Amino acid sequence: MTADLFTALVPVICVVFLIVGHIFAYRLAPALGAPLTLGIGFLGGFLVFSALQGMVFPLDDPSWNDFGNGIADLLAYLALAYTYFHFVNMGETARRVRILIEMNRFPDGLDREEIHFLYNAREMIDRRIKRLSDTGQIFEQNGRLYIGNQTVRVMAVIIALFKRLIFVNRLQT
């Protein structure tokens, strides 16, 4: 295998380790939850990335070309990891995906009442609030909900900024 081909495959190899690490972490410690085990998988993929970069671009004779290839590989790994994160997140939170998963469990189909029973708005919101509260992202005081972790506030601001940049002419809620 040529060095160029191997260099191109480094991000893909690392994402495979991310996915396998995520699966193993979640199955070994499901109480940690999907986000934390995904972080463990990401760390595993990044450690493999670091090791492979050391093999491909040895530190004893670095060149700017090696540095550029390393940065390109890092950006590709981060993009693939980000895609995987959203793929997992979509399966966890997207209502249409969750409804399709439920419908798959019932070969005779579901009527609208059964779907409404499975996914009523109050129950979904209560579950999301509980999840946010359990992870310390929000807290309740005197019957009102507040952001509990400033990292969440920063993430919300960054996401809102990206939405404004991307969807300039569309109202995003």
Residue with tokens 């809620």: 173
Proportion of the chain above pLDDT 90, given as a percent: 26
Identify the pLDDT of residue 113: 87
Identify the pLDDT of residue 6: 76
Cα of 95 vs its chain's centroid, Å: 17
What is the Rg, in whole angstroms, of the alpha carbon atoms belonging to the chain? Answer: 21
Tens-digit pLDDT profile for residues 41-97: 999 999 999 888 876 666 555 665 677 788 889 999 999 999 998 888 776 667 777
Tokens of 100: 């399709």
Instruction: Tell me the pTM.
Output: 0.58
Residue with tokens 């990401």: 42
Q: What are residue 138's phi and psi, to 5 degrees?
A: -135, 165
